[in-house]
């Protein structure tokens, strides 16, 4: 699949997304700059589109970096406990530090996400039998443990319903002024592209990287920081979106290989296009109502994940 095809698909899906919603808006309606429909378009539809593109591209890049550094195609923010750790950070700030502001919550979420990933990477280093299927299962169990802690804390503090709503994974409430945090992912993606070759070398192993004169730990920590930044911005803005960081990099690697400098542009546009498609489906299935986009992504993503899982199992037997 060529890059221009992904760009074209993203543009077409973006145009469709802008004109789908409970309120019928046509391109001709935008000729009247002061009309209510134009204001809705500018205050709701455009911010929603930008949030979808940034979240899709960001989560795709996060998964790509994690898969490269862990040397496992089934590792992603979803299957490594990263999103669950970011959620735990926000829950802790909500329950134990009730007076903190929005920026403090961001710091809590980022810190917990980073620590959670570091613990997961340490777990990988301690595992001797690094089977392609075994590693993500460890990550899923690890994430479930963190999720259970978050649920317990929220339940004891009687904020479980608020927490579940906060992390629902939906673009319904995205309006102008409530999505701009996602722009933080842009410099993180740029840095990922600039360090793409180093991430590729680091993904070949610590000994190989050191023999080439690369500071393996520095590159590893930088990758973890970038993933934590992107995951935090997405979780705080739209909630948890599962499987996106898992399946998009795998699809790209099937036809582009594992050179991150080449795969990053494809991952950006495929991630954006995939999330746009899921969001459009979420708005059409029960139109004029909509279901949370994380439900659509989970259904489609889990099906693709199972296919990849069985393919990986069959490949491991060969």
pLDDT tens profile 149-158: 999 998 888 8
Distance between CA atoms of 265 and 248, rounded to whole angstroms? 12
Q: Cα–Cα distances in Å, from 117 out to 81, 147, 216?
A: 7, 14, 16
CB 237 within 8 A of CB 179: yes
Structure tokens at 76: 């992603």
Helix segments in 75-133, DSSP class H: 82-96, 102-126
Distance between CA atoms of 217 and 136, rounded to whole angstroms? 22
pLDDT of residue 121: 84
User: How far does Cα 283 stand from its chain's mean position?
Assistant: 20
| Location of structure tokens 């102008």 | 176
pLDDT of residue 20: 87
Low-confidence ranges of the chain (pLDDT < 70): 128-132, 311-318
Q: Give the residue from 109, 92, 239 showing the smallest Cα distance to 156.
A: 92
* CATH superfamily placement of domain 41-317: ABC transporter involved in vitamin B12 uptake, BtuC (1.10.3470.10)
Distance between CA atoms of 64 and 76, rounded to whole angstroms? 8
What are the boundaries of each domain within the chain? 41-317
CB 76 within 8 A of CB 252: no
Distance between CA atoms of 235 and 307, rounded to whole angstroms? 26
pLDDT of residue 312: 57
User: Radius of gyration over alpha carbons of the chain, in Å?
Assistant: 20
Which bin fits 292, alpha (ψ -120 to 50), beta or left (φ > 0)? beta
pLDDT of residue 315: 46
């Amino acid at each position: 699949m060529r890059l221009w095809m992904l760009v074209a698909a993203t543009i077409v899906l973006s145009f469709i997304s802008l004109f789908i919603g409970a309120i019928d808006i046509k391109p001709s309606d935008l000729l009247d700059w002061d009309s209510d429909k134009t204001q809705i378009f500018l205050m709701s539809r455009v911010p929603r589109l930008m949030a979808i593109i940034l979240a899709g591209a960001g989560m795709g890049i996060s998964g790509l970096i994690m898969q490269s550094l862990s040397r496992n195609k089934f590792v992603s923010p979803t299957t490594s406990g990263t999103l669950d750790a970011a959620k735990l950070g926000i829950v802790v700030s909500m329950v134990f530090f009730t007076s903190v502001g929005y920026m403090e919550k961001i710091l809590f979420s980022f810190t917990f996400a980073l620590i959670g990933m570091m613990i997961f990477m340490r777990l990988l280093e301690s595992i001797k039998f690094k089977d392609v299927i075994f590693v993500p299962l460890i990550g899923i169990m690890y994430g479930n443990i963190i999720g259970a802690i978050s649920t317990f804390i929220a339940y004891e503090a009687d904020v479980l319903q608020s927490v579940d709503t906060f992390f629902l994974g939906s673009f319904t409430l995205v309006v102008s002024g409530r999505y701009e945090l996602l722009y933080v992912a842009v410099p993180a993606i740029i840095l990922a592209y600039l360090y793409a070759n180093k991430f590729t070398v680091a993904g070949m192993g610590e000994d190989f990287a050191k023999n080439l004169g690369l500071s393996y730990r520095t590159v590893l920590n930088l990758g973890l920081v970038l993933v934590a930044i992107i995951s935090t911005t997405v979780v705080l803005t739209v909630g948890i979106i599962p499987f996106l960081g898992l399946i998009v990099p795998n699809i790209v690697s099937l036809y582009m290989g594992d050179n991150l400098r080449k795969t990053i542009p494809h991952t950006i546009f495929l991630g954006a296009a995939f999330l746009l498609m899921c969001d459009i489906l979420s708005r059409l299935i029960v139109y004029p109502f909509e279901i949370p986009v994380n439900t659509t992504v989970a259904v489609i993503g889990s099906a693709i994940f199972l296919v990849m899982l069985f393919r990986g199992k069959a490949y491991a037997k060969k």
